[in-house]
């Protein structure tokens, strides 16, 4: 893979990760509904265990932390609007000229300079350690964290997500001790969101699963995996490893969600239906491929590719590809040996034991819950843009193995549940888009339709409290109002998903508002 491909892949990854910011006839039988109301049970709970909430990726970073004077501090992540505009203004003319004369080698050099200008200070050294002059806003400022999350009796763990997971897990352990001392509790519940699940699984591996003294400490009361990134994020792993693809349909599907079907989107859809959109997308795609075929300097090796946190957001296969791309010589492998060692630890010790750790939690009577979300397309620059997700992370990854339809499709009219579970019940969603029987733990894995990737405190707090504070392990069969498949009816209303409220699943091509016109006058187009 060319050097340019490496840097462009990473740039696309960063853009995607932070842009965030037909019912089938397959179900042969209806699920038996529980007779118990979760809302009634909630009123009987004692919220006696503090919750430590482990946040996802995000936050602002600054340089200037090595001096007490804050007046010289500068925002380095995300790059401020002034910095971005300045970089664009300085380089746009040269870039347009180089594009005009098709000088892709010089474009590669220019792009390296741009990347360094935007992300140089934010990067880590060859060992994966950030500059001590840089810091995350509010990181581990304990006095600001109490009760910030929506769950009762909760505390919010902030961290520098650039670091390797083992280092962050050690910081989390310190924070847990702080919370237990503050609350005079000998136990905590752990709830992780998004990248926080990478931290959570590392913490469990270090301080529970392999900890010889855990039986003496015995401090974990419950664990909740929420929209977890612990098994990789396509929006990161694919661009980092050069597996990039863009097409008109996935791009339009993504724009429809981002623009919420507004006037601008409708204008773009008209262009798409008239056939004017394809040439534009094809030009961009062809240009990208042309650029990828040309060499590039090693700028990425000295900035974004040095950040351990990004490698934690990869599945093992893509991680190995990314490692081969960025450290493709013996010299680089020697230079970045400690960084590689940190990344390998996460993938081959922590990630590889994810299922085993959950089984241990269950065996030890620790209440455990897995929540996956679905109903949204991903940013359209991955190796497969049709995969079901919550807008950021694939639903299959969040759920430890659910079988998922394409984002605008179903599992098929004649689909049958892939595995017969010991419970003997149906694990196919009412909209025929999810088969939970293939999950590693189908009876403790819930799916929320139309829940976008975010920290939905108001939506999920009661639901999660039931799992944490219940006397027994909660399953998808425990409460009638919290079955396996749920619907985010609005930002703070969670209801059981049914064939009536699921809505019809329609392929994007059949859902465009001009589809009927196109069908009637297709010869004109």
Task: Give residue-wise pLDDT tens across range 84-120.
Answer: 888 888 989 998 898 888 887 788 778 878 888 888 8
Say if 68 falls within a structural domain. Answer: yes
Say if 85 falls within a structural domain. Answer: no
Give the three-class secondary structure for 487.
strand
Q: Which of 156-165, 355-364, 365-374, 511-520 has the lowest mean pLDDT?
A: 511-520
Q: Write out the residue range of the structural domain in which residue 259 sits.
A: 1-78+122-525
**Close Cβ partners of 499 (under 8 Å, ≥ 6 residues apart):** 23, 430, 431
**Close Cβ partners of 150 (under 8 Å, ≥ 6 residues apart):** 457, 458, 460, 461
The Cα 480–Cα 35 span in angstroms is: 6
10 Å CB burial of residue 301 (0-12, 13-18, 19+) is buried
Buried b (16+ CB within 10 A) or exposed e, 338-353: ebbebbebbbebbbeb
Say if 106 falls within a structural domain. Answer: no
pLDDT at 445: 98
Say if 86 falls within a structural domain. Answer: no
Q: What is the pLDDT of residues 250-296, one digit of tens each?
A: 888 988 888 887 888 888 888 888 888 888 888 877 776 676 666 55
63 forms bridges with which residues in the sheet?
74, 134
Say if 16 falls within a structural domain. Answer: yes
Say if 341 falls within a structural domain. Answer: yes
> Does position 458 have pLDDT exceeding 80, yes or no?
no
Say if 101 falls within a structural domain. Answer: no
pTM beyond 0.85: the answer is yes
Say if 89 falls within a structural domain. Answer: no
pLDDT at 232: 96
Domains in the chain: how many in total? 1
Q: What number of other Cβ atoms are within 10 A of residue 133's Cβ?
A: 14
Q: Hey, CA dihedral for 398, 402, 403, 408, is it positive or negative? A: negative
């Amino acid at each position: 893979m060319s050097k340019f491909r490496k840097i462009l892949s990473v740039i696309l990854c960063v853009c995607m990760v932070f842009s965030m910011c037909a019912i089938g006839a397959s179900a042969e039988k209806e699920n038996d509904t529980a007779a118990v109301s979760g809302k009634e049970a909630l009123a009987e709970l004692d919220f006696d265990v503090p919750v430590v909430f482990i946040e996802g990726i995000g936050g602002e970073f600054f340089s200037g932390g090595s001096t007490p004077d804050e007046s010289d501090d500068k925002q380095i992540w995300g790059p401020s609007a002034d910095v971005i505009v300045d970089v664009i203004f300085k380089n746009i003319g040269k870039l347009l000229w180089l594009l005009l004369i098709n000088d892709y080698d010089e474009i590669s050099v220019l792009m390296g300079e741009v990347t360094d200008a935007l992300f140089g200070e934010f990067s880590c050294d060859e060992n994966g350690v950030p500059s001590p002059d840089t810091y995350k806003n509010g990181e581990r400022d304990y006095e600001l964290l109490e009760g910030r999350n929506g769950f009762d009796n909760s505390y919010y763990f902030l961290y520098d997500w650039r670091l390797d997971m083992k280092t962050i897990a050690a910081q989390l352990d310190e924070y847990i001790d702080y919370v237990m001392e503050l609350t005079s509790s000998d136990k905590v519940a752990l709830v992780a969101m998004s990248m926080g699940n990478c931290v959570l699984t590392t913490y469990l591996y270090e301080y529970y699963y392999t900890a010889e003294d855990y039986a003496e400490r015995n401090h974990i009361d419950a664990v909740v995996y929420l929209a977890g990134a612990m098994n990789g994020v396509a929006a990161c792993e694919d661009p980092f490893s050069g597996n990039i693809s863009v097409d008109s349909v996935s791009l339009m599907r993504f724009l429809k969600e981002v623009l919420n079907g507004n006037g601008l989107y409708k204008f773009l859809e008209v262009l798409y239906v008239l056939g004017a959109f394809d040439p534009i997308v094809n030009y961009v795609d062809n240009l990208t491929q042309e650029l990828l075929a040309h060499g590039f300097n090693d700028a990425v090796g000295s900035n974004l590719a040095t950040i351990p946190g990004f490698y934690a957001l990869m599945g093992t296969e893509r991680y190995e590809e990314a490692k081969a791309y960025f450290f493709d010589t013996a010299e680089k492998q020697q230079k970045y040996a400690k960084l590689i060692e940190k990344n390998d630890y996460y993938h081959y010790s922590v990630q590889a034991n994810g299922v085993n750790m959950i089984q241990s939690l269950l065996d030890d009577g620790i209440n455990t819950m897995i929540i996956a979300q679905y109903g949204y397309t991903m940013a359209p620059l991955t190796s497969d843009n049709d995969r079901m997700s919550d807008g950021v992370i694939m639903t299959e990854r969040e759920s430890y193995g659910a079988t998922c339809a394409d984002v605008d499709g179903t599992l098929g009219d004649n689909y049958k549940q892939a595995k017969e579970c010991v419970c003997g019940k149906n694990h196919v969603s009412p909209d025929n888009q999810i088969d939970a029987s293939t999950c590693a733990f189908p009876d403790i894995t819930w799916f929320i339709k139309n829940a976008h990737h975010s920290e939905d405190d108001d939506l999920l707090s009661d639901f999660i409290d039931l799992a944490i504070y219940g006397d027994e392990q909660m399953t998808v069969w425990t409460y009638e109002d919290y079955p396996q498949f749920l619907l985010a009816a609005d930002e703070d209303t969670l209801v059981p998903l049914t064939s009536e409220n699921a809505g019809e699943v329609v392929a994007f091509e059949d859902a465009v508002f001009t589809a009927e016109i196109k069908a009637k006058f297709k010869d004109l187009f």
